[in-house]
Amino acid sequence: MTTRKKTGGPKTPPPAAEPAKSERSRKRSTINDIARLANVSKKTVSRVINDSPFVKEETRLKINAIIGELGFEPDPQARGLAFRRSFLIGMIYDNPTAQYVVSMQQGILDAMHNSSFGLLVQPCDRASPTFLHDMRQFVERHKLFGVVLTPSVSEDDRLVQLLQDADCPCVRIASIALGSAASMVVTHDSVGAAEAARHLAQLGHQRIAHISGPATFLSAHERRRGFSNGLAERGLKLKPTYDREGLYTFDSGAAAARELFALKPRPTAIFAGNDEMAAGVYKAAHDMGLRIPTDLSVVGFDDSPVATRMWPLLSSVRLPIREMGRMAAEKLFHRYGEKRSGGELTEVIPALIMRESTAPPSGA
Amino acid sequence: MTTRKKTGGPKTPPPAAEPAKSERSRKRSTINDIARLANVSKKTVSRVINDSPFVKEETRLKINAIIGELGFEPDPQARGLAFRRSFLIGMIYDNPTAQYVVSMQQGILDAMHNSSFGLLVQPCDRASPTFLHDMRQFVERHKLFGVVLTPSVSEDDRLVQLLQDADCPCVRIASIALGSAASMVVTHDSVGAAEAARHLAQLGHQRIAHISGPATFLSAHERRRGFSNGLAERGLKLKPTYDREGLYTFDSGAAAARELFALKPRPTAIFAGNDEMAAGVYKAAHDMGLRIPTDLSVVGFDDSPVATRMWPLLSSVRLPIREMGRMAAEKLFHRYGEKRSGGELTEVIPALIMRESTAPPSGA
DNA sequence: CTGAAAGCGCTTACAG
DNA sequence: CTGAAAGCGCTTACAG
């Protein structure tokens, strides 16, 4: 009992920055140490760790003090084994944009800060024949606490079904609500696309084109839909000849733009489904001697790093990726903390970031 | 004993793609099930799981057969608890390039494929006052099996010391050997930079400039050193006025280029320490009306996605990031498998990827 | 070459 | 409000 205070002084700062030097012989303390020091059973210590309401306030205080003093942190592995569920969150992704993946990780990590959770990453390929098998292994092997699914794998119903069968909670990030409110972070891509449409219309453009992502992507559909609606608000229509499908890649954007430029009259503004394709549009315009924004206005989507690496700087629709990651992880935690709470839909609205790539049409 | 065969037929395919429908009541089998079925003790099953040589071949075969049949996979959590070490690899990073991070993750995951390991990611900020404390928590909390350190945090000796104290194996990725051979993947950035120098010299350039990364980065130093050496091979010298320090950022690259362009005579070629800065050079050149490669040759480093998003396409020095990740993880595993083996230095050589951004000097 | 006992650090029923 | 027993699924000494 006398060995438990080292400094003897008042409460040491936070969790004791650097206890003993490299004396790694000082093993981490366990629930047993705490129990002994507090003169209670380990079960009671377990109760305070797990925030059980059935602990006398006085007991709780005493135990928490000792926990603080020793810098005790329950072993997630042992806890996991007993709980039959780990303290690990998985992030499953197939988004090709590296910045998206890294920002999302950051956001999830933000939500886990100061918890004992860890973030396990898992890329995937929906086209692979072992896709579902791999995902099942990933989830079952680690007895994941929960999983966050980013687009476009978040749209895969087979995966969602599998997770449900495996009793693994998941939060899906997508442009519209695909499942229960408790499991969704919806990004309303259509709203951002509509804003882009209004902006272009406002500038006076009449011949406005769109290059969408592949039809298999929900986001591609939503962005087109929102754009079309935004145009309609201003009495404009997205003409079929001005409506091309790309692949969300640089090359497909350039190819679609070339087709568009061959039209007469050619469009004076293009809304690309993502920044990659917008970069392709820049390239095609450059090759044809079309100046941006004088001869052609361009708007992208994603506000990825490339948007500020092009000249003129690309105006683009931005989604708060990192924040989305944080929200998704928080949903997972809420569901656990307060008995299935956090059930409201989580929503996010994209915003148009204005830069230098748009101007009134030259003839205006 | 009779319940153990479901299909009754010959060995089913791999690990039984989809055992029972959504019957998740069928709990995962444990080491006890295997032991019972094989008529041995669980300890013996444990021995075959851990590849112990002290098992009769016949016994091993029988046990492995049953393991295969049931698709048994030992629970990493339970194993970890008993081993006092998890089956988790941590990746600690502070590299600002998203593509680098994602590729590295992929590589590490490649090495873990078909193992029961998982990859935990952990960004960090070396300037944060809680940096070391956070890292210690990360490592101790998860009882990490090992950790891979990417540049530039891989250069932090305090971290390496901390990991050693915590008895956590690590592999460091850096441009030169910073520690024991067993813990290093060295990327020889200088070799790639030298190649860039030779290429430029070969083209006939005489006035060749370099924009380096910040002096606090080892890579910045190594790239300059290699470049300078490459020039020297051809009897050229990196003049102090042509040797500028940037920050590895777009803006710093543009600023340094502007200074270089103001010199008379101005350089006819620039080797940028990374692609970001090369993009800045493009921007500055564009603003000054300098055409690439006619008026100015440019070479970058990293071969990041932006390299192919610029016009003309940027020639750049490439490092096989994904492969480096794989190698790093494999080193961690080797050290474990064969009693401290895998001790040789792991090396990687960068290669110059030729594209469209270089040409002989216009006056040549 | 193989096994019975004890233990990793926590939690679940069950009692009280 | 609190605790003693048993257990999560595996491994470590120790025996034989």
Interatomic CA–C1' length for residue A47 and nucleotide C7, angstroms:
23
Question: What would the pLDDT profile of B255-298 be if each residue is shown by its tens digit?
Answer: 999 999 999 999 999 999 999 999 999 999 999 999 999 999 99
Q: In DSSP terms, which residues pair with A219 in a beta bridge?
A: none
User: Chain A: nearest CA to B234, how far in angstroms?
Assistant: 34
Asked if A218 contacts A155 with a C-beta cutoff of 8 angstroms, the reply is yes
Model confidence at B14: pLDDT above 60: no
Question: What would the pLDDT profile of B161-208 be if each residue is shown by its tens digit?
Answer: 999 999 999 999 999 999 999 999 999 999 999 999 999 999 999 999
Confidence of residue A7 (pLDDT cuts 50, 70, 90): very low
- Are β-strands B351-353 and B346-347 bridged in parallel, bridged antiparallel, or unpaired? unpaired
Question: What would the pLDDT profile of B111-153 be if each residue is shown by its tens digit?
Answer: 999 899 999 999 999 999 999 999 999 999 999 999 999 999 9
Q: What is the pLDDT of residue A55?
A: 85
Question: What would the pLDDT profile of A9-57 be if each residue is shown by its tens digit?
Answer: 333 333 333 343 334 445 788 999 999 899 999 999 999 999 888 888 8
Any strand D atom closer than 7 Å to A49 CB:
no
Question: What would the pLDDT profile of A235-266 be if each residue is shown by its tens digit?
Answer: 999 999 999 999 999 999 999 999 999 999 99
Any strand D atom closer than 7 Å to A54 CB:
yes
Asked if B242 contacts B208 with a C-beta cutoff of 8 angstroms, the reply is yes
Query: What would the DSSP string read from start to end of B145-199?
Result: SEEEE-TTGGG-HHHHHHHHHTT--EEEEESS--S-GGGEEE--HHHHHHHHHHH
Interatomic CA–C1' length for residue A105 and nucleotide D7, angstroms:
36
**In chain A, what are the domain boundaries?**
27-74, 85-187+321-349, 189-318
Model confidence at A283: pLDDT above 60: yes
Nearest to A133 among B17, B132, B250 (CB): B17
Model confidence at B6: pLDDT above 90: no
Candidates 1.10.260.40, 3.20.20.70, 3.40.50.300, 1.10.150.130; CATH matching A27-74: 1.10.260.40
User: Chain B: nearest CA to A60, how far in angstroms?
Assistant: 23
Mean residue pLDDT across chain B:
90
B116 vs A contacts (CB less than 8 Å):
141
A75 vs B contacts (CB less than 8 Å):
81, 143
Q: What is the pLDDT of residue B26?
A: 58
To 10 degrees, the CA torsion angle through A222, A223, A228, A233? 90
- Probe site for chain A from B102, B167, B310 (most A CB atoms < 10 A): B102
A73 vs B contacts (CB less than 8 Å):
137, 141
Candidates 1.10.260.40, 1.10.10.10, 3.40.430.10, 1.20.140.10; CATH matching B2-74: 1.10.260.40
Nucleotide nearest to B30 (CA to C1'): D9
Q: What is the DSSP letter of A204?
A: T
Question: What would the pLDDT profile of B36-78 be if each residue is shown by its tens digit?
Answer: 899 999 999 999 999 888 888 888 999 999 999 998 999 999 9
B22 vs A contacts (CB less than 8 Å):
165
Nearest to A123 among B109, B286, B306 (CB): B109
| Ramachandran region, residue B269 (left: φ > 0; alpha: ψ -120 to 50; beta: rest) | beta
Any strand D atom closer than 7 Å to B30 CB:
yes
Distance between CA B297 and CA B285 in Å, rounded? 10
Model confidence at B337: pLDDT above 80: no
Say whether B3 sits in a helix, a strand or coil.
helix
Residue range A338-349: mean pLDDT, rounded: 74
Q: What is the pLDDT of residue A342?
A: 55
Any strand D atom closer than 7 Å to B32 CB:
yes
Q: What is the pLDDT of residue B28?
A: 80
User: Chain A: nearest CA to B242, how far in angstroms?
Assistant: 25
Q: What is the pLDDT of residue A26?
A: 59
**CB under 8 Å, gap of 24 or more: what pairs does A262-268 form?**
A265/A207, A266/A207, A267/A207, A267/A208, A267/A209, A267/A242, A267/A296, A268/A205, A268/A206, A268/A207, A268/A208, A268/A295, A268/A296, A268/A297, A268/A361, A268/A362, A268/A363
Q: What is the pLDDT of residue A363?
A: 64
Q: Which residue of A has its CA nearest to B83?
A: A77
Question: What would the pLDDT profile of A129-172 be if each residue is shown by its tens digit?
Answer: 999 999 999 999 999 999 999 999 999 999 999 999 999 999 99
Distance between CA A92 and CA A124 in Å, rounded? 7
Homologous superfamily (CATH) of A189-318 is Response regulator (3.40.50.2300)
Model confidence at A83: pLDDT above 70: yes
Model confidence at A119: pLDDT above 90: yes
| A–B interface: beta-carbon pairs under 8 A | 107
To 10 degrees, the CA torsion angle through B321, B326, B328, B331? -160
User: What architecture (CATH level 2) is domain B83-187+321-350?
Assistant: 3-Layer(aba) Sandwich (3.40)
Percent of chain B clearing pLDDT 70 (strictly above) = 90
Q: What is the pLDDT of residue A24?
A: 42
Nearest to A98 among B18, B102, B310 (CB): B102
Model confidence at A2: pLDDT above 60: no
Any strand D atom closer than 7 Å to B143 CB:
no
Cβ–Cβ of B22/A142 closer than 8 Å?
Answer: no
Cβ–Cβ of A102/B106 closer than 8 Å?
Answer: no
Number of CB atoms found within 10 A of residue A43's CB: 10
Model confidence at B24: pLDDT above 60: no
B141 vs A contacts (CB less than 8 Å):
73, 76, 116, 118
B119 vs A contacts (CB less than 8 Å):
120-121
Cβ–Cβ of B101/A102 closer than 8 Å?
Answer: yes
Asked if A24 contacts B166 with a C-beta cutoff of 8 angstroms, the reply is yes
Any strand D atom closer than 7 Å to B99 CB:
no
Mean residue pLDDT across chain A:
90
> CATH topology of A27-74 equal to that of A189-318?
no
Residue range B86-92: mean pLDDT, rounded: 97
User: Considering only CA atoms, which residue is closest to the C1' of nucleotide D2?
Assistant: A44
User: What architecture (CATH level 2) is domain A85-187+321-349?
Assistant: 3-Layer(aba) Sandwich (3.40)
Q: What is the pLDDT of residue B343?
A: 76
Residue A114, exposed/middle/buried by CB under 10 A (0-12, 13-18, 19+)?
A: exposed
Q: B104: Cβ–Cβ under 8 A, 6 or more apart, which residues?
A: B91, B93, B148, B150, B321, B322, B324, B325
What backbone phi and psi angles, to 5 degrees, belong to A207? Answer: -95, 90
Q: What is the pLDDT of residue B78?
A: 95
Asked if A250 contacts A280 with a C-beta cutoff of 8 angstroms, the reply is yes
Model confidence at A8: pLDDT above 60: no
Model confidence at B2: pLDDT above 50: no
